[in-house]
Chain A
Amino acid sequence: MKKLTPHKDSEDIFGVLYETGKLINSTLDIDTILKNIVEIMSVHFKSGDFSFLVLEGDRLLLKAALNHPRWGDSNYFIPLGKGITGTVAATGQPLNVGDVRRDKRYIGIRPKMLSELAVPVKINGKVVGVFNLESPDINSFKEQDLKLLTALADQTAVAIKNARLYKSYADNVKRLSNLYESGKAINSSLQFDRILKALLETSAKELNYDSIAILLMSNGRLYAKAGLGFTNNEIASYSAAIGEGVCGNVAETGKPLIIKDVSKCNFYISQSSRTKSEMAIPIKYEGKTIGVYNVESNELDSFDEDDLLFISALAEQAAIAIKNAELFKEIESFSEVLQKKVGEATAELKTANEELQHLNKVKTDFLSIVSHELRTPMTSIVGYVSLLRDGECGPINQQQKEFLQIVHDESMRLYRLLSDLLDVQKIEAKKMIYIFKDFDFKSFLEKYSKEVQRECSAKSLQFNLKLPSKVPTIKADEDKIKQVMMNLVSNALKFTKKGSIKIELSVLPRHLQIQVSDSGIGVSEENQKLLFEKFSQVNMEASREAGGTGLGLAITKSLVEAHGGKIWMESKPGHGSKFVFTISKNIQ
């Protein structure tokens, strides 16, 4: 094989290897590596036939070649176990065949070739391809050629492995970070399983394994969460205490372990009788071990530093994803707890609300009954006092008359307080009934003003009524409107000692507006706001003085609002008050 092997001494071998090593280590791209190998071959085996075939499934495919007749034919392949090349791929042992005609394994694709040298390219003991040299001469290949080719094959294997690892690592990092990114939107438990599955699948491609397990720490113990080469039951029952076995050891120290031969490891605890070597790598998150990646093999010395580095890098990415998934899970369960609590609280509130509603009804009923029951004695008191006061039962003096008037007024106030309370109760319970009927506000005011006129005359007040010539008929509850008017007018009368009271009706585009103004004591600006509130202090003080209940304006306000209107007041202390309210023209 003179033509093919120009360098014969061992120095030359090292020279070639050095060159090869330099070339193939300078890149991580498989195609570039193969291109480089072919280039080296073209230099060192100038006119020889060289080919590199890669094992894919049970077929050896031509990936690189020099002077090969089928180069470029994508359909060409050698079945695993067939021919010299196929046998080398199947056994993992190199073959140097001096005369192919005498070898039964030879399948004769290349009729002019007489001798053949084939060496396997192995990664982690697994054949991934075959380096093949063929020569037209008999016994072309010497021991030295075998050594050189084997050394090249090993280097190529490392280069391919590195390239694969790199590609796989890059892919996985991308995949895991994709998972991490997309994880936020995905159900966390599903996400969790996906992370573990991704970790398993991507790592399995690069390892010569019999079984892989991912164990995660929970309550101070490791539990297998996912695995390959196990049944579901085995995974479910697979756990280890911290410090127990290889995994437990790794969990304890936080340092990875490669056990080349488990029979020589004093803390190895057997999971499978077939296991011969094992590698365990901590899965760490922020420096804390959260789990262990454990891989076992039926062969001795299946794992090396490269595997460790690769899995470690993968585990680091996975840890982030796992932790995030756990956080999502926590958030999820927290939100479940929260939901449950909200549900409970809502139920409690509902019960409380029902109780309150019941109490409210009891209160309303009570007030209604009390109000009704009080009417009878009140009627007698007011009725008889009026008779006495008016001298219907015989003459009385001025003081007697005045005192009887006080008894009468206070009794009426007591009764009013009660009926106002009842009104407020009805308004709050939304049980106030409104009967909206055609309502002629103008004629109502014309009639009503006669009563006001009488009251004003009795107090020597001037009374003015201002009505527009035309007022449209609207829908309103006459009783309620009368209640509003009486409330405002009685307030005006109460707080006006001299001067005048004026009622003015005007027609606005969408509302009727009524003003009741007086020349009374007026209300300060800060008190104006409080005026329409129930039992407000300003109300209470003023109303006590003037015989009111402190509820009138609050009731008035809600009656006006029920008519689609608003009520407000304008006043200056000492310069009288003006109460204005509107009611909608379009209530149906």
Chain B
Amino acid sequence: MFLFRGQPTTKLLYDKRRFVNKWGIMAGKKILVVDDEPNILKLVSFILASKGYAVIEASGGAEGITKAKAEKPDLIILDVMMPKMDGFEAAKKLKSDPATRDIPILMLSSKAQFEDKMKGIDSGAMDYITKPFEKDELLQKIDEFLES
């Protein structure tokens, strides 16, 4: 993953991420970012915002669930290692609640072991990206989810 650090087709994808709402205002899709590390939260938010997404931030599992219910995001980017409620538990809760069940989850974790990935998928995540990540890889994955 570290190998492909070039600059692929982000420019092309840029326009696809935008759509026009019924009032004709350009609005990005809504993404909820859940991470207890402020620097990472800020980083992911910045990357997403700069590509036109509307970003909602949450700094813990419980807060993430609350915001997911309230904001109904198009995608949730969920950190795994968080105090109190970790990403696996948060994902299970989100997937068991009809209100949030259909929101795709992308896990972003510093746990890179195979077992962790499997656990992530088992708990309902669509995919799993390990930290440190390349922003292009993250954007590509998001793009795939939101397109489908």
Interface residues of A (CB under 8 A from B): 368, 371-373, 375-376, 378-384, 386-387, 390, 392, 408, 411-412, 415-416, 419, 433, 435, 451, 454-455, 458, 479, 486, 489-490, 493
Contacts and interface: CB of A to CB of B under 8 A. Distances in A.
Closest 10 CB pairs of A and B: A375-B110, A379-B131, A379-B132, A383-B43, A382-B132, A375-B131, A378-B132, A380-B39, A458-B6, A412-B2
Nearest to A411: B132
B131 A376 contact: yes
A479 B1 CA distance: 11
A486 B43 CA distance: 27
B135 A433 contact: no
A458 B135 CA distance: 18
Contacts of A386: 134-135
Contacts of B39: 380
Nearest to B138: A383
A433 B115 contact: yes
B40 A490 contact: no
Given A387-B47, A392-B47, A412-B132, 9 more contacts: A372-B81, A372-B112, A376-B40, A380-B43, A382-B134, A433-B114, A433-B115, A451-B3, A454-B6
Contacts of A381: 132
Interface of B: 2-8, 37, 39-40, 43-44, 46-47, 50, 81, 110-115, 130-135
A386 B138 CA distance: 13
A178 B20 CA distance: 111
Contacts of B43: 379-380, 383-384, 387
26 contacts: A372-B81, A372-B112, A378-B132, A379-B132, A381-B132, A382-B133, A383-B40, A383-B44, A383-B132, A383-B133, A384-B43, A386-B134, A386-B135, A387-B46, A387-B47, A390-B7, A392-B47, A411-B132, A412-B2, A415-B132, A419-B112, A454-B4, A454-B8, A479-B114, A486-B3, A493-B3
Nearest to B1: A486
Given A383-B43, A387-B46, A375 B130 contact: yes
A382 B136 CA distance: 12
A378 B112 contact: no
A165 to B, nearest CB: 89
A3 B3 CA distance: 134
Contacts of B115: 433
A56 to B, nearest CB: 92
A458 B134 CA distance: 17
Contacts of B47: 383, 387, 392
Nearest to B130: A375
A557 to B, nearest CB: 19
Given A387-B46, A387-B135, A379 B114 contact: no
Contacts of A375: 110, 112, 130-132
Contacts of A458: 6
Contact of A383 (B2, B5, B111, B135): B135
Given A372-B111, A454-B8, A379 B3 contact: no
Given A379-B110, A387-B47, A455 B132 contact: no
A138 B81 CA distance: 135
A458 to B, nearest CB: 5
A437 to B, nearest CB: 12
Contacts of B7: 390
A342 B50 CA distance: 70
Which of A411, A416, A458 is packed against the most chain B CB atoms within 10 Å?
A458
Nearest to A413: B2
Nearest to B43: A383
Most buried by B among A383, A384, A458, A479: A383
B4 A455 contact: yes
Contacts of B8: 454
Contact of B114 (A378, A435, A451): A435
Nearest to A382: B132
Nearest to A383: B43
